[in-house]
């Protein structure tokens, strides 16, 4: 697996609430564009429902990740864009619901969450992008 180390504890910093301070990798990286809560037809999923939108955005992201022969354990970093940062626990809960089965006891990827004034569509509440370490066996993709 190209994601080698997930740094979660440093004496000078507090323990992270569900993410790594840093992740080291080897090999090829993919930088995945931000994904929002749209279905295959381009319709918004979960209007006014942050949990539903987070699930759909992560599902869309997962489709892209899988195209590269990677999975959740290969995600090095998430960047989250939200309209309301006070709702971060909803995002964490959905993220963990989706990632825990794949990661087991491995810590979540590095992560940044940014509150923004707006996303590109008026019904969107969250957008997530990722950096993914492509597994060696999939490096010809």
Q: Contact at 8 Å (CB) between 131 and 77? A: yes
**Given a cut of 60, is residue 71 above it in pLDDT?**
yes
Rg of the chain over CA atoms, in angstroms? 15
pLDDT-above-90 percentage for the chain: 70
Q: What is the mean pLDDT of residues 18-42?
A: 87
Overall residue count recorded for the chain in this entry: 141
Q: How confident is the model at residue 1 (pLDDT cuts 50, 70, 90)?
A: very low
| 3-state SS assignment for residue 54 | helix
List 48's β-bridge partners, or say none.
none
φ/ψ of 3, rounded to 5, equals -80, 105
């Amino acid at each position: 697996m190209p994601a080698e180390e997930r740094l979660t504890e440093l004496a000078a910093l507090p323990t992270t609430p569900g993410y790594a301070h840093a992740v080291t990798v080897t090999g090829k990286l993919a930088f995945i564009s931000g994904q929002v809560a749209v279905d295959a037809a381009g319709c918004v999923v979960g209007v006014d429902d942050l949990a539903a939108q987070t699930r759909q955005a992560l599902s869309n992201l997962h489709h892209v990740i899988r195209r590269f022969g990677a999975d959740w354990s290969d995600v090095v970093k998430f960047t989250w864009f939200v309209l309301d940062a006070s709702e971060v626990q909803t995002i964490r809960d959905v993220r963990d619901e989706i990632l825990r089965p794949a990661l087991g006891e491995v810590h979540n990827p590095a992560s940044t969450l940014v509150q923004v004034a707006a996303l590109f569509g008026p019904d969107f509440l969250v957008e997530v992008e990722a950096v993914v370490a492509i597994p060696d066996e999939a490096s010809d993709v």
